Structure 1
Amino acid sequence: MINCIIIEDQLPAQRILKKYIKDADSMNLVGVFSNAFLALEALEALESLKIDLIFLDIHLPRLSGIEFLKSLTNPPKVILTTAFSDYALESYELAVVDYLLKPFSFGRFVKAVSKVSETKSSQGLKKSNPCVYIKSGHQYFKVEISSILFVNADGDYTDVCLAVKKHVSSEPLKYWEDKLVAHGFIRVHKSHLINTEKIVKTSSSYVYLENNHKIPIGRTYKRIVIDQLTSL
């Protein structure tokens, strides 16, 4: 059972969320917060109840949803709800479960909530460490996929970049995109493929990865990047 609360000041949005929660399996609505002391009440609830998930509106009176989220030291899972797409990249930086753009369907709601269920069911399970072989000249190097920060095109070759070294691959960037997309990698530029697990922060024009790597977001990829990051 997923225990959740709603932090939303608009009654129509509250009604939709309540209905969706009621219609969904294995969800328990603990409380709804919408008054002037919204953040304080929510914090008090989090202290006394085991909350697994918050449905959090971004545009709230006195204290925005983003500000509220940043004030929590050990927050539960959070799904942001908003009518504006401006905060999509910032929300990803805050490691929210999903970003629901109003108005959203029941199907989209279920998809977001399923990510919480998957996280709970996977707790305590040992993660595998899939590897990939990188062909460089006449040699093949075995590398754990989770150790790859990004892959970038360099003429007829590609650089597969790790934390402390890089391998020059004979394969094109499309080859790596096809192989790594199932492992959390996304294309952010015509020349760059990144590991979303290595993102430190984002801006409207760049993705910042571990080890001080700054990767540009291509103009034609910007909308795709926002959609992909917020659906992870």
Structure 2
Amino acid sequence: MTCIAIDDEPKALDILELFTGKISFLDLRGKFRDPIQGMDFIVKDKPDLIFLDINMPELSGLQLLKTLANPPLVILTTAYSEHALTGYELNVVDYLLKPFEFERFLKAVMKAKELFELKKETRRHLQKPGRRYENVILLKSGARTYRIKTDSILYVEGMGNYVTFYLHDKKIVTYMSIQEVLNMLPEEVFCRIHKSYIVSLKHIDVIEKHRVLIKNNSIPIGQTYRENFSKAVRVQ
């Protein structure tokens, strides 16, 4: 796994370099005291994992994270425990409270590795409609791979690093972002109506001002997505 460290404290960067050097599957590609330089590297080189300090001048780690459209895996580091909840709301892998020992660092890294491998496996099994199986996708969930017809998908809910596909007869949880799901589904049938929800236009039973109903499930319509959803419904 390629990784970088962003922290305005030289000593903290030295510790991260020492710890990453002890783990064979980590490849530290850069250390940055300037978060802007770190952000530029992320955009251009797309590392798999970031060790990101929260409290930095000019641009905090949380602010940096919010600017990234498709952030990689992130492990936050900080001396202030009050930031933990905010960090988890941004779907980070783990939160390291300074000063941390190698054992705690290793635990966070192993969690990141597990998510990284799961994401790779999921992407390997994904099949876009029209390439090999028309209107079929493959979803990796645990030790199983499901072959799913897109017509059977009612809606999709994003939950941090995971998404849940709700089908007629079951639900499937897999590791990917809500944006990745949107990219692989046929856009003429599926529409994102909320930051956490994608719905099948075919399966909507009721449309109200602030929500839609699918099989008695209430799904909110986000203000940001309202106009696009209205256009999609008119096309249908």
- For the residues of structure 2 that align with 1:90 and 1:127, how far apart are their CA atoms? 28
Partner residue, 2:172: none
The share of aligned pairs that are identical, in percent, is 44
Alpha-carbon distance in 2 for matches of 1:60, 1:44: 16
Cα separation, 2, equivalents of 1:22 and 1:93: 29
Show the counterpart of 2:27: 28
The amino acid across from 1:52 in the alignment is: D
Aligned with residue 40 of structure 2, among 44, 54, 60: 44
Q: CA deviation at 1:44?
A: 1.8
Structure 1 position 72 matched with structure 2 position 68: yes
Is the partner of 1:96 in helix, strand or coil?
A: coil
Q: How far did residue 128 of structure 1 move?
A: 5.1
Q: In the alignment, which residue of structure 1 is the partner of 2:108?
A: 112
Identify the residue that residue 94 of structure 1 maps to in structure 2. Answer: 90
> TM-score, with normalisation over the residues of structure 1?
0.52
CA distance 1:128–1:47, change in 2 (3 Å): closer
Residues 164-208 of structure 1, C-alpha deviations (whole Å, 9 max, x = no match): xxxxxxxxxxxxxxxxxxxxxxxxxxxxxxxxxxxx8xxxxxxxx
Q: Is the CA contact (8 Å cut-off) linking 2:54 and 2:61 kept in structure 1?
A: yes
Describe the SS at the equivalent of 1:5: strand
Q: Which residue of 2 aligns with 1:154?
A: none
Which of the residues 141, 149, 161 maps onto 1:127?
141
Instruction: Tell me the secondary structure at the aligned position of residue 74 of structure 1.
Output: coil
Which 4+ stretches in 1 moved above 2 angstroms? Answer: none
Structure with greater contact order relative to length (CA < 8 Å, sep ≥ 6): 1
Shift of 1:129: 10
Q: Which residue in 2 is equivalent to 1:17?
A: 16
Structure 1: distance between partners of 2:41 and 2:143: 38
User: What CA distance in whole angstroms lies between the structure 2 residues aligned with 1:16 and 1:27?
Assistant: 14
Query: How many aligned positions are there?
Result: 133
How many Å separate the matches in 2 of 1:105 and 1:88? 18
Residues 25-64 of structure 1, C-alpha deviations (whole Å, 9 max, x = no match): 2111111111xxx232122212321300111000101111
Tell me, what secondary structure is at the counterpart of 2:111?
helix
Pick closer, same or farther for the CA change 1:107–1:128 going to 2, 3 Å. closer
**1:1-232 mapped onto 2 (5 Å cutoff):** 2-34=1-33, 38-123=34-119, 124-125=121-122, 126-127=140-141
Task: Please give the root-mean-square deviation of Cα atoms over the aligned residues, in Å.
Answer: 2.6
Q: What letter matches 2:5 in structure 1?
A: I
Q: Give the counterpart letter for 1:115 in structure 2.
A: K
Q: CA deviation at 1:211?
A: 6.3
Q: For the residues of structure 2 that align with 1:55 and 1:26, how far apart are their CA atoms?
A: 15
Give the gaps of 5 or more residues in structure 1: 131-146, 150-162, 164-199, 201-209, 213-232
Q: 1:74 to 1:68 in 2, by over 3 A?
A: same
Secondary structure of residue in 1 paired with 2:11? helix
Gaps of 5+ in 2: 123-139, 145-156, 160-165, 167-195, 197-217, 221-236
